[in-house]
């Protein structure tokens, strides 16, 4: 093979160039094929589950999942409660669905279902909306869930400050919060509605029994609920195998006319408290209540309360923001939790 002159094209160079063109064309073809398959796969993924009503089989599968997730039909229940989806609606044509699920015990839980009908979530955030507006809407939704069912308490339902307290009668911090609430000044109390919900924790062996008899008292009246609740808190350190909450309450109120012991016994025997305890537990779990006490103020969970002064400051800050605005939107106060009222 001779040496090629400058500017000449050898047969080897021509063959190499032709091979390069062939590989280049093949590469383009492969890339086009890959792009085609990707588009097809994407189209199938997005179009496999069109927006519309849930199928009967999908509905049943979701209901069974929620039933198992929250153990609604647990073996401890006196009767079987059927979970069912009350309504299903798409959200702004994006194929996410808002599911309103009835637990069969008088409560409801709202879930959001992904377009592929695989994932459930408690909340759904829209990044195109202002977080403040979205938070105000979320507070409104949460408050509607909290106030949907009647709960024992005090104050007017139309009060500007609406507190919902999840409590456990063996929780010492719940007892402390109860004392703080009862010690509020009259000018605050007249502007507050306080509702109570039971959320007995598994770490407290007698809290479920205490919650049951408190619910039975609440079925008589809010005053009866308050009296039994105060007694349970005062006796929380005495509960044990030989000093059960129900026995202590019945013995204490046997000579009192404010709470009917006969109605308490009937309620306990017939397990009339069970649907309410189940309802409150499901609500607490759906709102991701971390423990007790947990307090919601106008639909928003309050941060940790370190003292009665901290509680008073946050209530007054919220009351001032309510007075300044006729809307129900929450106005954050940067001083809340940083200093105490003087």
pLDDT digits (tens, 9 = 90+) for 26-36: 555 555 444 44
Residue 221 belongs to what H/E stretch? none
Residue 326: phi and psi, rounded to 5, are: -80, -10
pLDDT at position 340: 28
Find the mean pLDDT for residues 118-141.
85
Cis peptide before 297 (omega within 30 of 0): no
The distance of Cα 151 from the centroid of its chain, to the nearest Å, equals 17
Q: State yes or no: pLDDT of 152 exceeds 70.
A: yes
Rounded CA gap, 80 and 69, in Å? 15
Question: Is 124 in contact with 89 (CB distance < 8 Å)?
Answer: no
Per-residue pLDDT band for 291 (boundaries 50, 70, 90) equals: very high
Report the 3 state secondary structure along 85-133.
EEEEEECCCCCCEEEEEECCCCCEEEEEECCCCCCEECCCCCCCCCHHH
Angle, helices 261-269 vs 245-253, to 10°: value is: 150
Per-residue CA distances from 2 to 10, 11, 13, 16 (Å): 10, 12, 14, 18
Q: What residues are paired with 108 via a beta bridge?
A: 102
Mapped onto helix, strand or coil, the DSSP state of residue 53 is coil
Burial of 196 (0-12, 13-18, 19+ CB in 10 A): buried
Tell me the range of 36-50, 201-215, 249-263 where mean pLDDT is highest: 201-215
Q: State yes or no: pLDDT of 336 exceeds 60.
A: no
Question: Is 89 in contact with 100 (CB distance < 8 Å)?
Answer: no
> Global pTM?
0.62
Q: State yes or no: pLDDT of 212 exceeds 50.
A: yes
Instruction: Name the pairing type of β-strands 161-167 and 192-198.
Output: parallel
Find the mean pLDDT for residues 167-174.
96
Q: What percent of the chain has pLDDT over 70?
A: 75
Find the mean pLDDT for residues 18-44.
51
pLDDT at position 328: 45
Which is more confident, 38 or 277? 277
What is the number of alpha carbons within 13 Å of residue 60 lying toward its C-beta?
3
Nearest Cα neighbor of 201 from 211, 192, 191, 193 is 211
Instruction: Name the pairing type of β-strands 84-90 and 161-167.
Output: unpaired
Rounded CA gap, 55 and 158, in Å? 41
């Amino acid at each position: 093979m001779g040496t090629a002159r400058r500017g000449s094209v050898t047969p080897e160079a021509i063959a190499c160039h032709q091979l390069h063109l062939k590989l280049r064309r093949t590469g383009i073809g492969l890339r086009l094929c890959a792009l085609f398959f990707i588009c097809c796969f994407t189209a199938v993924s997005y179009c496999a589950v069109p927006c519309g009503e849930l199928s009967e089989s999908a509905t049943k599968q979701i209901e069974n999942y929620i039933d198992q997730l929250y153990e609604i039909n647990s073996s401890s229940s006196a009767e079987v409660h059927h979970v069912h989806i009350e309504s299903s609606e798409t959200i702004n044509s994006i194929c996410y669905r808002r599911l309103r699920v009835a637990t069969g015990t008088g409560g409801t839980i709202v879930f959001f279902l992904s377009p592929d009908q695989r994932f459930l979530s408690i909340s759904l955030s829209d990044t195109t909306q202002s977080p403040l507006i979205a938070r105000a809407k979320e507070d409104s939704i949460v408050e509607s869930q909290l106030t949907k069912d009647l709960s024992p308490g005090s104050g007017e339902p139309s009060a500007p400050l609406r507190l919902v307290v999840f409590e456990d009668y063996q929780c010492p911090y719940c007892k402390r919060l109860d004392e703080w609430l009862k010690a509020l000044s009259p000018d605050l109390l007249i502007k507050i509605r306080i509702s109570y919900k039971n959320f007995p924790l598994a770490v407290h062996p007698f809290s479920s029994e205490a919650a049951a008899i408190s619910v039975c008292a609440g079925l008589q009246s809010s005053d009866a609920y308050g009296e039994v609740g105060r007694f349970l808190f005062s006796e929380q350190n005495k509960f044990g195998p030989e000093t059960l909450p129900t026995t202590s309450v019945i013995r204490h109120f046997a000579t009192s006319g404010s709470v009917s012991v006969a109605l308490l016994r009937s309620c306990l025997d017939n397990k009339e408290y069970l649907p309410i305890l189940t309802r409150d537990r499901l609500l607490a779990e759906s709102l991701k209540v971390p423990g007790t006490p947990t307090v919601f103020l106008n639909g928003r969970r309050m941060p940790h309360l370190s003292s009665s002064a901290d509680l008073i400051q946050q209530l007054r800050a919220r009351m001032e923001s309510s007075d300044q605005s006729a809307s129900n939107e929450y106005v954050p106060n940067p001083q809340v939790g940083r200093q105490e009222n003087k």
